């Protein structure tokens, strides 16, 4: 799935490196890891709900960018452009720490 998604992003020139990663690496949890944990009904501690809210926003940003590129709309003029989100985006400043907070819940 990762290879297909990366190929898709390359084909449509979808820039996502400033967002929560779709696929995690090392001790950083990706959006797919969260999805897998939730879809299997594994409980998450209340301590990580704030982190999950940030992940949800990044999932929304990711989806909006994907749709904008498929529709060939100008990302630079949107509220999900990297420049706009760097200033106004919810959870952007915590991106270095939040994916790592979920690591112990996702990876055990």
Q: What is the pLDDT of residues 31-57, one digit of tens each?
A: 999 998 888 887 778 888 999 999 999
- Per residue in 49-106, pLDDT (tens digit) is 999 999 999 999 999 999 999 999 999 999 999 999 999 998 898 888 888 888 878 8
The domain total for the chain is 1
Q: Which domain holds residue 66?
A: 2-106
Predicted TM-score (pTM) of this structure: 0.90
Burial 45-62 (b: 16+ CB within 10 A, else e): eeebeebbebbebbbebb
């Amino acid at each position: 799935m990762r290879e297909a998604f990366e190929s898709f992003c390359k084909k449509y020139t979808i820039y996502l490196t400033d967002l929560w990663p779709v696929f995690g690496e090392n001790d950083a949890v990706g959006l797919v890891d969260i999805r897998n944990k939730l879809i299997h009904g594994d409980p998450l501690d209340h301590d990580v709900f704030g982190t999950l809210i940030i992940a949800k926003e990044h999932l929304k940003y990711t989806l909006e960018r994907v749709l904008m590129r498929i529709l060939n709309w100008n990302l630079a003029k949107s509220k999900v452009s990297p420049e706009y989100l760097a200033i106004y985006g919810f959870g952007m400043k915590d991106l270095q720490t939040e994916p790592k907070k979920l690591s112990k819940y996702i990876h055990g």
